[in-house]
Structure 1
Amino acid sequence: MLRKLSPLAFLLTAFGAFSLTPVSAPALAAESAPVPSAHDIATLVTDRDAVRPGETLHVGLRLQLKPGWHTYWLNAGDAGEAPTLKTTASGALSGQSDAIAFPTPVRISEGGLMSYAYTGDVLLPQSLKLAGSAGTVTLKAHAEWLVCASTCVPESGDFSLDLPASSDAQGKTAPNSSAQGPLFVHAAQSSPVPSPFAAAVTSDGLLSLSGQGLSMASVKRAWFMPSVTGVIDQVAPQKLDVSDGKVTLKLNWIDAAHRPATLEGIVVLQDEAGQQTPLWITTQSAAPAAAATSMPAAGQVPVMAPEAHKVQGALWKMLIFAFLGGLILNLMPCVFPVLAMKAFSLARLGGSHRHEQIQSALAYTTGVMGSFAALGVAMIVLRSVGSAAGWGFQFQSPIFVIGVAWLLVMMALNLLGVFEVTLGRIGQDVTPRHGVWGDMLTGLLAVIVATPCTAPFMGAAIAAALSGPAWAGMALFLAMGFGLASPYVAIATIPFLARHMPRPGAWMAVLKQALAFPLLGTSVWLFWVACVQRGAMILPVGLGGAVALGLAAWLFGTTQRQAMIRGATMPVIIGRVIALLALVLAGVSLTRIDDATADARPIGMTGELGVVAYSPERLASLRDQGKPVFIDMTAAWCITCMVNERVALQSAQVKQAFEEKNITYMKGDWTNRDETISAFLRDHGRDGVPLYVYYAPHKDGTILPQILTASGVLDTIK
């Protein structure tokens, strides 16, 4: 069926600017095995099913997006990220693909943001020049793309496709009769073509196209989509003016002082019948020459920090979420031991001068935000190299878990008075309870023990931090850190609150020792986490190291007291040498954990009665059968997960409701690294546990809050 040509399209065809079928009529096309997700189905497709040397093969990423979901153009707009596709050919013929030839996107304006996107069934094509001898070719491709609806989910896929040598010696191709070939024709028809009209832009943002054939009869609407973001206000209306031979659009520069010399992108011209003609334009600025000296050279793509405005509108919302998540994190049980120590610090500061209180608050905040920044850098870097690291990823290492448990044991012994940390002269106390460095260390410890917990609002903020540009991700992590530190900052710096802090007294000695026991209790939990990860064989190493550290702490404390009375005598020196050897022994045993437990069998968390271990295949099978499924993504090191299970999921009412409704309780154990669980989390816009999803029969999943109640679970499954 021939497509009806608008007058403008007919004119462009006459100019020879484009053809409706710029790719040759393809032979039988081929398609790879699909990479499905909850939001789309991705495949690698080609425009023919056989190849020959010297020809150009058209390949493409095909995304069949589910209703309500979209992916992005070369310039995603105010939020989002462009897809990437890298294809290589190996075998008798070889080659590497060019950049994606992006079709013309649609505009999606929502919430004060503009996105340039694709919906439905979309093909992102590229060309691949083949060289070598006749024979079978294997295509390997890796693609990454972002799909968004109310939330955004980063996705990726690896594809493989084998194409045999063509048997058509004369190089002729038969008309295509498969479902894939027309995709390339449609993509070519919807792609922008080089504009035959002269394009220019003035210093005040007036974009103009001029040439024969542009008139009120052929252009009724028009809009411009730049190839990079951060240049114009993409949401602002673009006032159209059409006269014979000239079309102008009024653009709003984001920064009038740093206008680009070259503006590239798509101008879409629409006639009265609604037919659209997309033109690729490259303009030259009409600004005065004096102003042009600070602009990029003609022909260059302007480097305008394209991500500077990419998430500008959404960033403020995510920053608020990040701050609230960090603030609520103070109420999570995992942070309690450190908050108990901060309570002691506040009590100690009750009788101190104002500047000491402010100094302590600033030091603690620096420790918290610096630790969040370091954690953010680690996660962003790991994501950039393809790792599936999520929130709390460091607790998936038993070495880290045992190391933190030992740190808490040593801090507890310090609070019990077994030893004192000294700097300079003996007796100068610089433990985490005193001094600038002590407050900063407490901030570091707060972040370490807080990462197993995920507070409300944090899930969306962390997902945004890891899917957007690095600078925005760092801002979100710092906002979470400030939220965690803000209660202590408020108490120590607001005069009214500071005046009502308790005064120091003899009661503080008792409080100091009492606070050691929450730390010891937390260390017991961490030893259990290590057992879940590597089995019971890890306990001799973990507890043996704790005993060695206890011996080192006792010897160090004993020699401290002796040195204060008698000076550095030989027994003092010998005691400290033994203490040092005990520390070295503990450190060596920590590095040998992997070897000592290599053959150990993890205990795991999915062996309970009535619990089914998560697998994508099992979930798909149950949903195909129309059975309700409740998904619990958890980890042994996630205290929020443990509390939710005890309070809500293991309550008698919830268990009874699950049994009555024949709901399959499926649990994913993320205590150790598991790529299938990481993929499920990413598919649901999360980068950490807990995650709870309920699938009613033949319906999409419903995500539950991160803090569960029995009544909330019952309301969801009803």
Structure 2
Amino acid sequence: MKRHALALLLLLAVPAGGAAPAFAQGNEAGDGIGAWTKAGPVEARLVSAVRGTGDLTALPLGLELRLEPGWKTYWRSPGDAGFAPRLDWSRSGNLGEATLSYPAPHRFSVLGFETAGYDTAVLFPIQGAPATPGKPVDLALTAELLVCSEICVPQTLDLALALPAGPADPSEVANDVARAQALVPKGPNGLLRIDSVQGKGSSLEVEATAADGFVTPDLFVETDPALTFSAPKAVFSDNDRHVRLTLTVTDPQPGLDLAGRAMTLTLVDGDKAVEAPVTASAGSAAPTPGSVGLAAMLGVALLGGLILNLMPCVLPVLSLKLMSVVKHGGRAPAAVRAGFLASAAGILTSFLLMASALVGIKAAGGAVGWGIQFQQPLFLVFMVVLVTLFSANLWGLFEVPLPRALADRLGGDGLAGPFATGMFATLLATPCSAPFLGTAVGFALSKGPVEVYAIFATLGVGLALPYLAVAAWPRVAGWLPKPGRWMATLKTVLGFALMLTAVWLLSVLTAQIGEVAAATVGLLMAALVLALWVGRSARGAARTAGPALAGVLAVAAFAMPAAVGPSAGAAPVVSDSKARWVPFVESTIRDHVAAGRTVFVDVTADWCITCQANKKLVLNRGEVAERLEDKGVVAMRADWTRPDATIAKFLSDHGRYGIPFNIVYGPGAPDGIALPELLSDGAVLEALGKAAGKSS
């Protein structure tokens, strides 16, 4: 009954006949700023970000209000009482339409009443459209506002602003209009994220995450038909980066259940805000990265690291793994155990080094993610040089002998080789995400350093489990054939297989620094192998000159990205699919969905092998390719081969920090249906059907 009681107070507070309208005096021609018009405790004016209409089809306008101290006006959904601004543009000339947007509101709690609105000052952005572009526009607005203090008084203001047909140069208030537009809550962003929404009778429980931590979070809920809610009760966790907000309907009807009800949520924290259309779920909310415990996520990480052994990502390192295994044939169990433990230690060390790098980048405010090192040209050159040297070593072109004392300490043939192999295999296995691995990495990178180190260490243990299993039962190696001449042939073959990895890395480098620069790196590597071969065959001083020249060529390869630049000549994204792939533009997804279309988003990169496998095996062939070709489907491709802050933000908004990532939007799934890392025809077709509002 609060709404009816306050409405009665409003009527009693209004003088008989209401407030008389106040009129604007106009503006100086061509300055884009209307005159202030005062009515009681509020004054208002129309403003424009441009001085003239030019040839614009959309005019950036604004309605600016100033209120006397202690007075407020209302948001589009005022709460327990009040009403939003009512605007009449009918007296305007050459104005086709005008759409008003609302900056994030403030909450006012008075005597148990909860309302939302603005005090002191507010500028409402307005998107105007001239009926005939290029002609003058005469704006004439009658605005009905309700302003309240201890009493509430409706006010009517008549405002005017003339925009001539001159150039659309910025006006003095252009920055103010742009700043007001930036304060209007929009869809997902990298600062705030709504994780889950759960309805329990007349109560609503919302889980949310803030990248930089919450300060004073507030939540406004809009439903149809309208319901009024209490102020939220907040429970913080994860150093204030996660919050659970609980609200209740203030005047519930008998039997009210919010589960399954569509609503719009506006989450506000200071100057940050996000708006999201959602449907409240029933029962227990689905676990999210912010709400799952560390112990449970460690189990997910262990499974993700183990599955990584079976992913396409490991194809480039199969030769290293195979060589590591066959070397132990016929060896004593103690030597077998030591070698496999060394490889496992190399894997674990690599994961801890990656965790340290990600913690440092995150602390410095940079974008973090799984496999993002493959976006850096210098890292790619480093990997090309390293792979080339591994191949040359397998071909017997060079060896790096250890000091005798160190070799004895490491155990016979030495453990440095298996350790280095484990580290190197890990680096080459990280350019894509495996099932469960993406969930674990997303959890870690949304938390603090402790969680990052714990999750990455567990991922390393998972990837090293096959090595640890052989170390636990070293007699398994006794089933392998004993080393002999056949190993020389095998090493030659595996060396060529590893060189194919270098070719793949060069193809990724092409997208970073262009074909000519990447080809030059390839030629330098060919010359490096030739120099090592000549040095190996030569005698005297020439034997030393070969490795020295190889070192110079390696340094020259590292200089190539700096000389050319990280994006010069970068190759455009080329699709071999039938589908009409369009570049990723997140802001257009909602428009496509509103128009009844289904949007399939594929976040991919040239360095992501699982991404390429998904394209070859699912997206580019069969019924899936035909569905993506349909006119009612928009196929969007987000290429993350090179660093892209927009794509990184899109991934983090969905709790992802690695790729592949595929998600489908549509009238039946406006919030999107995320697909698993490894795609299948059935999963994609089912998601497309659900998103379109059809059964698969």
TM range (shorter): 0.5 to 0.7
Q: How much has 1:402 moved relative to structure 2? A: 2.2
Query: Is residue 267–residue 273 contact of structure 2 (8 Å, CA) maintained in 1?
Result: no
Taking structure 1 as reference, are residues 341 and 429 closer, same or farther at Cα in structure 2, changes over 3 Å only? Answer: farther
Residue 686 in structure 1 maps to residue 656 in structure 2: yes
Query: Is residue 438–residue 657 contact of structure 2 (8 Å, CA) maintained in 1?
Result: yes
Q: What is the match of residue 409 of structure 1?
A: 388
Q: 2:604 aligns with which of 634, 644, 647?
A: 634
Q: What is the match of residue 396 of structure 1?
A: 375
Query: Is residue 633–residue 692 contact of structure 1 (8 Å, CA) maintained in 2?
Result: yes
Name the SS of the counterpart of 2:121 in structure 1: coil
Q: What is the match of residue 628 of structure 2?
A: 658
Q: What is the match of residue 286 of structure 2?
A: 150
Q: How much has 1:536 moved relative to structure 2? A: 1.1
Q: What is the match of residue 702 of structure 1?
A: 673
Structure 2 counterpart of 1:389, which letter?
V
Q: 1:548 aligns with which of 523, 527, 532?
A: 527
Q: What is the match of residue 459 of structure 2?
A: 480
Q: How much has 1:677 moved relative to structure 2? A: 1.0
Name the SS of the counterpart of 1:716 in structure 2: helix
Q: What is the match of residue 338 of structure 1?
A: 317
Q: What is the match of residue 480 of structure 2?
A: 501
Q: 1:518 aligns with which of 482, 497, 509?
A: 497
Query: Is residue 266–residue 274 contact of structure 2 (8 Å, CA) maintained in 1?
Result: no
Structure 2 counterpart of 1:663, which letter?
V
Query: Is residue 630–residue 665 contact of structure 1 (8 Å, CA) maintained in 2?
Result: yes
Q: What is the match of residue 564 of structure 2?
A: 596
Structure 2 counterpart of 1:117, which letter?
L
Structure 2 counterpart of 1:654, which letter?
V
Summarize the alignment of residues 445-594 of structure 1 with structure 2, pairs less than 5 Å apart: 445-495=424-474, 497-558=476-537, 562=539, 571-572=540-541, 574-594=542-562
Query: Is residue 632–residue 667 contact of structure 1 (8 Å, CA) maintained in 2?
Result: yes
Q: What is the match of residue 179 of structure 1?
A: none
Aligned positions, number: 480
**Please, which runs of 5 or more residues in structure 2 have no aligned partner?**
5-68, 77-101, 107-117, 124-179, 187-192, 199-204, 219-230, 248-263, 689-695
Residue 360 in structure 1 maps to residue 361 in structure 2: no
Taking structure 1 as reference, are residues 599 and 404 closer, same or farther at Cα in structure 2, changes over 3 Å only? Answer: closer
Taking structure 1 as reference, are residues 374 and 517 closer, same or farther at Cα in structure 2, changes over 3 Å only? Answer: same
CA distance in structure 1 between the aligned counterparts of 2:481 and 2:677, rounded to whole angstroms = 35
Structure 2 counterpart of 1:401, which letter?
L
**Please, which runs of 5 or more residues in structure 1 have no aligned partner?**
5-23, 32-40, 52-58, 71-76, 87-98, 127-140, 155-310, 563-570
Moved more, 602-611 or 482-491: 602-611
CA distance in structure 2 between the aligned counterparts of 1:703 and 1:436, rounded to whole angstroms = 43
Name the SS of the counterpart of 2:309 in structure 1: helix
Q: What is the match of residue 437 of structure 1?
A: 416
Query: Is residue 234–residue 245 contact of structure 2 (8 Å, CA) maintained in 1?
Result: yes
Name the SS of the counterpart of 2:582 in structure 1: strand
Q: What is the match of residue 207 of structure 1?
A: none
Q: What is the match of residue 619 of structure 2?
A: 649
CA distance in structure 1 between the aligned counterparts of 2:357 and 2:372, rounded to whole angstroms = 10
Q: What is the match of residue 245 of structure 2?
A: 117
CA distance in structure 2 between the aligned counterparts of 1:115 and 1:108, rounded to whole angstroms = 4
Residue 605 in structure 1 maps to residue 573 in structure 2: yes
Q: What is the match of residue 248 of structure 1?
A: none
What whole-Å deviation, never above 9, does each CA across 1:596-617 have from its counterpart, x for those lacking one? Answer: 2567321132565621111113
Q: How much has 1:357 moved relative to structure 2? A: 1.4
Residue 714 in structure 1 maps to residue 685 in structure 2: yes
CA distance in structure 2 between the aligned counterparts of 1:708 and 1:314, rounded to whole angstroms = 28
Q: How much has 1:395 moved relative to structure 2? A: 0.4
What whole-Å deviation, never above 9, does each CA across 1:427-486 have from its counterpart, x for those lacking one? Answer: x89999952111111111111101112111011100001011211121110111111111
Taking structure 1 as reference, are residues 399 and 432 closer, same or farther at Cα in structure 2, changes over 3 Å only? Answer: farther
Residue 614 in structure 1 maps to residue 584 in structure 2: yes
Query: Is residue 552–residue 583 contact of structure 1 (8 Å, CA) maintained in 2?
Result: no
Query: Is residue 373–residue 477 contact of structure 1 (8 Å, CA) maintained in 2?
Result: yes
CA distance in structure 2 between the aligned counterparts of 1:415 and 1:42, rounded to whole angstroms = 64
CA distance in structure 2 between the aligned counterparts of 1:361 and 1:505, rounded to whole angstroms = 21
- RMSD across aligned C-alpha pairs, in angstroms? 4.2
Query: Is residue 626–residue 698 contact of structure 1 (8 Å, CA) maintained in 2?
Result: no
Q: How much has 1:593 moved relative to structure 2? A: 1.6
Taking structure 1 as reference, are residues 125 and 676 closer, same or farther at Cα in structure 2, changes over 3 Å only? Answer: closer
Query: Is residue 661–residue 677 contact of structure 2 (8 Å, CA) maintained in 1?
Result: yes
Q: How much has 1:660 moved relative to structure 2? A: 4.5
CA distance in structure 1 between the aligned counterparts of 2:687 and 2:566, rounded to whole angstroms = 42
Summarize the alignment of residues 179-198 of structure 1 with structure 2, pairs less than 5 Å apart: none
CA distance in structure 2 between the aligned counterparts of 1:590 and 1:49, rounded to whole angstroms = 56
CA distance in structure 1 between the aligned counterparts of 2:449 and 2:274, rounded to whole angstroms = 17
Query: Is residue 419–residue 558 contact of structure 1 (8 Å, CA) maintained in 2?
Result: no
Name the SS of the counterpart of 2:647 in structure 1: helix
Q: What is the match of residue 668 of structure 1?
A: 638
Q: What is the match of residue 15 of structure 1?
A: none
Q: How much has 1:508 moved relative to structure 2? A: 2.0
Query: Is residue 337–residue 470 contact of structure 2 (8 Å, CA) maintained in 1?
Result: no
CA distance in structure 2 between the aligned counterparts of 1:330 and 1:459, rounded to whole angstroms = 15
Q: What is the match of residue 25 of structure 1?
A: 70
CA distance in structure 2 between the aligned counterparts of 1:144 and 1:467, rounded to whole angstroms = 18
Query: Is residue 392–residue 452 contact of structure 1 (8 Å, CA) maintained in 2?
Result: yes
CA distance in structure 2 between the aligned counterparts of 1:481 and 1:620, rounded to whole angstroms = 39
Q: 1:48 aligns with which of 93, 110, 120?
A: 120
Structure 2 counterpart of 1:471, which letter?
V
What whole-Å deviation, never above 9, does each CA across 1:611-646 have from its counterpart, x for those lacking one? Answer: 111111332332221111211110000000001100
CA distance in structure 2 between the aligned counterparts of 1:582 and 1:507, rounded to whole angstroms = 29
Moved more, 524-533 or 648-657: 648-657
Summarize the alignment of residues 183-222 of structure 1 with structure 2, pairs less than 5 Å apart: none
Query: Is residue 628–residue 662 contact of structure 1 (8 Å, CA) maintained in 2?
Result: yes
Q: Percent identity?
A: 33
Name the SS of the counterpart of 1:707 in structure 2: coil
CA distance in structure 1 between the aligned counterparts of 2:413 and 2:386, rounded to whole angstroms = 18
CA distance in structure 2 between the aligned counterparts of 1:504 and 1:714, rounded to whole angstroms = 50
What whole-Å deviation, never above 9, does each CA across 1:204-247 have from its counterpart, x for those lacking one? Answer: xxxxxxxxxxxxxxxxxxxxxxxxxxxxxxxxxxxxxxxxxxxx
Name the SS of the counterpart of 1:478 in structure 2: helix
Structure 1 counterpart of 2:616, which letter?
R
Name the SS of the counterpart of 2:602 in structure 1: strand
Q: How much has 1:666 moved relative to structure 2? A: 1.1
CA distance in structure 1 between the aligned counterparts of 2:393 and 2:269, rounded to whole angstroms = 64
CA distance in structure 1 between the aligned counterparts of 2:637 and 2:605, rounded to whole angstroms = 10
CA distance in structure 1 between the aligned counterparts of 2:314 and 2:514, rounded to whole angstroms = 26
